[in-house]
Amino acid sequence: MNNKNNERVYRMSFASVYPHYITKAEKKGKTKAEVDEIIFWLTGYNEQTLQQHLDDKTNFKDFFGQAPQINPNASKITGVICGYRIEEIEEMLMRQIRYLDKMIDELAKGRKMEKILRK
């Protein structure tokens, strides 16, 4: 992954991508609540703090940088997303973004929530 591309992703507002996560889930019969549950689990945000970041159009860099707590079990999220093996992504911020992508993918593929949340 080149750094220029990473920087472009980091500057994107989380609010611009969030509706795509929901659409992807809903197309497969899943819900916004399930998408939010994944985000809360991964970042430590809650409904109010997530909404604040959406309203403020926080970029990905700050969204993850300001997260109350990245779930310690996030490191159990492995596999390939967008052609990259998650556990081999060196930049932690990009890895965290890909964790979220992977979890939303798993939700859309009908994986059970307890498995997605690495319980």
Q: How confident is the model at residue 4 (pLDDT cuts 50, 70, 90)?
A: confident
Tell me the average pLDDT of the chain. 95
- The residue type found at 33 is A
All structural domains of the chain: 3-116 (1.10.8.290)
What number is the average pLDDT over the span 67-77? 96
Query: What's this model's pTM, rounded to 2 decimal places?
Result: 0.94
Do residues 39 and 117 lie in contact, with contact meaning Cβ atoms separated by under 8 Å? no
Q: In this model, does residue 1 exceed pLDDT 90?
A: no
Question: What is 27-86 written as a DSSP string?
Answer: HTT--HHHHHHHHHHHH---HHHHHHHHHHT-BHHHHHHT-S---GGGGG--SEETTEEG
Q: How confident is the model at residue 2 (pLDDT cuts 50, 70, 90)?
A: low
83 vs 112: which has the higher pLDDT = 112
For tokens 């700050």, name the residue: 62
